[in-house]
Structure 1
Amino acid sequence: MIKPYVKLTVEERVGIVEFFHPNRNSMPSEVLLELEQAIHVMAKDEDVKVIVLKSGGDRTFCAGASFNELIAIDDAETGKNFFSGFANVINAMRKCPKLIIGRVQGKTVGGGVGLAAATDYCLATQYASVKLSELSIGIGPFVIEPAVSRKIGKMAMSQMTIDAETFYSAEWVKDNGLYAEVFETAEELDEAVYHLAEKLSSYNPEALKEMKKVFWEGTDHWETLLQERAAISGKLVLSEFTKKTLKRFR
C-alpha cells in the first residue's frame, strides 16, 4: 500500500502541491500539517509564479476528515486541534500571495470541498461530484463554511449542508460557482490546468499578487473565525451520536 504523502514539484514557474492518502485521499492531522507547510513553502519560492493543488490517484479528490482519527478523539482540545488543521490549510491558501489553481479529478466530501473552495480558480472532471456529509454524522461543516459560502453563496451552501447524504453533480457545482469549467476526462482536465498555469505564470507577478489581495478582501477575520469554528466541531465530535455513526461508517 502506498503511504500518505504531500509532494512538491516545480515545473517551469508552476509549483505543484500534490497530497495523497490510500483511504480515498482522506485527511489525517499529519497530512493537513504537511499540506499547510507545503503551501507556505510554495508561497516563499521565488521560482514559483502560480500554484496547482491536486491529489494523487484517479478517483476521489478528497474524502475529507479521517474517520479513524475522529473516532480516537476523546477531549475537546484534541478535537479543536484536529479541525484546526483544516482551518490552517484554508488560511494558508487564503494568505498565499500566489494564485492557486485547483485540479479536482473525482468525488469530494466535507473538508475536501473546503480545500477546493479555498483555491482561486478550480477546474474539475464530470466525475467531481461533491457532498457535505457532516450533519449526517453529528457535526457540521463549520470550518469550511466561510470558504464554501464565499464561492457558492449561503443558499447553495445551506442546501448542501441540509441535504447531507446527497452527492451534487459537477455541473451543479459549476453552475453555483465553485468550478470554473468541467471536463469529460482527466486528460482534458490536465491539459486545461497546464495551459492555464503556464499562461498565468507568464503574467506580471506583481499584478497577480495585487489581484489575489482583491479576491480575498474582507477575510482577515478568518484567522480567528476558523479557529472558533474548529472548537465547535471539536466539541461535537465527542457526542455519543457522532461516535456511534463514525464507527458504523468507518
Structure 2
Amino acid sequence: MTTSIKEGTVETEIKDGIASITFAHPSSNAMPGQQLKALAEAIHAAGRDTAVKVVIIRSGGERAFCAGASFDELLAIRDLEGGKAFFRGFAGVINAMRSCPKFIIVRLQGKAVGGGVGIAAAADYCIASEYASVKLSELAIGIGPFVIGPAVERKIGKAAFTQLAIAATEWQTAAWAKDKGLYQDVFPTIERTDAYVEYLAKQLAAYSPEAMAKMKAMFWEGTDHWPELLEERAKISGQLVLSDFTSAAIAAFKNKKK
C-alpha cells in the first residue's frame, strides 16, 4: 500500500512475514506533518497484522536518510496549537515504534538530522552505512530536540545526547553513532547494509512472535508514560517555533541552500 503526501510517500510491502515501510520525500526525505502521520499509521497497521513478524523502516533514495522536520511547514506555523500539532507528528512516530509489538529494524543509507535521529533511536535494531552521519541541529534554529530527546537519550545515554544537542552544527560519524549504541551495525556500502538488513529480518521472521513481543515489552519497560511526556515536549517545541529567532534562522538556512 502506498500513501502519497504532498510529493512524498509512505509505502508498505509485506512479504514472507516482513513488513517493509519506506518513506520518501524529494527534500532529502524531510518529514511534513501528514507524512509523519502516515508513517505512524503504517507502523500501527504492521503491528496489528498477524501476518507480520518483523518490521523494517527505511527511506527512499541513496543519499540522506532523513533531513528531519519540513522547514516549509515550520515557517507556516502561526500559533501554539499549530506548533504542537506539528511536533506531535514526531511524537506519534516514536510512540508507534515504541508500542508496536514487533521488532523494528531501521536501515539508514545516509545522513540523519533531527527527527531522523529520533527514528533511528526508536529502532529496536539499527543498521547503517558508513555514510550515515548524525546531527541534532534544532538548537541552531532556536528550538531543541525535545520530542525525540527521550528516545535518543534512552539509546545513547545522557552524555552523548548532550553532546549531540549542544554541538548542533557538527556532524558525528556513523562510527561515533555505533560506538554510542545508536547503531548496532555499520557497513561500508549501501549494498552490504541492505544485505544484512534482509538477513536479520529473515532470521527474526522465523522466530517465535510471542517471545519477540515479550522481549520488546521488556526492552521498552519504563516508557509507558511517553504519550504524556512527548505531548509536553511537543508543547515546548510548539512555543519555541513561534519565536522571531526561529523564523529568521530557518529563513536564513533556506536562502543559504538556494
TM-score norm. by structure 1 comes to 0.99
Measured after TM superposition, the shift of residue 11 of structure 1 is 1.6
Q: Distance in 2 between matches of 1:27 and 1:211?
A: 30
2:154 alignment partner, one of 142, 150, 161: 150
Q: Please name the residue that 2:44 is paired with.
A: 40
Q: Which amino acid aligns with 2:246?
A: T
CA RMSD of superposed structures (Å)? 0.8
Instruction: Determine if the alignment matches structure 1 residue 94 to structure 2 residue 98.
Output: yes
- The letter for the 2-side match of 1:46 is T
SS in 2 for 1:106: coil
C-alpha distance in structure 1 between counterparts of 2:105 and 2:25, whole Å = 20
Amino acid at match of 2:87: F
Amino acid in the other structure paired with 1:123: I
Tell me the amino acid that sits aligned with residue 12 of structure 2.
L
How far off is 1:182 after superposition? 0.4
Matched, 1:84 2:88: yes
The residue type equivalent to 2:24 in the other structure is: F
Q: Which residue of 2 aligns with 1:201?
A: 205
Q: Post-superposition shift, 1:3?
A: 2.7
Q: How far apart are residue 225 of structure 1 and its match?
A: 0.2
Answer yes or no: is 1:161 the counterpart of 2:165. yes
Equivalent residue for 1:189?
Answer: 193
The residue correspondences of 1:101-112 to structure 2 (distance < 5 A) are 101-112=105-116
3-state SS of paired residue (2:58): strand
CA distance in 2, matches of 1:62, 1:179: 15
The structure 2 residue matched to 1:210, chosen from 208, 214, 217, is 214
Instruction: Establish whether residue 28 from structure 1 lines up as the match of residue 32 from structure 2.
Output: yes
Q: How much identity, in percent, do the aligned residues show?
A: 57
Mark the runs of 5 or more structure 1 residues left unpaired by the alignment. none
Q: Which amino acid aligns with 1:202?
A: A
Q: Which residue, out of 66, 77, 82, partners 2:70?
A: 66
| Offset from partner CA, 1:203-240 (integer Å, 9 cap, x none) | 01100000000000000010100000000000000000
Q: How many angstroms does 1:122 deviate by?
A: 0.1
Partner SS state of residue 18, structure 1: strand
Stretches of 4+ aligned residues off by more than 6 angstroms: none
- Offset of 1:45 from its aligned partner? 1.0
Aligned partners of 1:160, 1:184: CA distance in 2, in Å?
A: 23
SS at match of 2:155: helix
SS of the residue 1:27 aligns to: coil
Task: Determine the C-alpha separation between the residues in 2 that align with 1:162 and 1:20.
Answer: 28
Give 1:46 shift: 1.1
- Structure 2: any 5+ residue segments left out of the alignment? 1-5
Identify the match of residue 133 of structure 1 among 110, 114, 137.
137
Letter in 2 for 1:176: K
Q: Are 2:8 and 1:4 equivalent residues in the alignment?
A: yes
SS in 1 for 2:23: strand
Number of equivalent positions:
249
Aligned AA (1:68): D
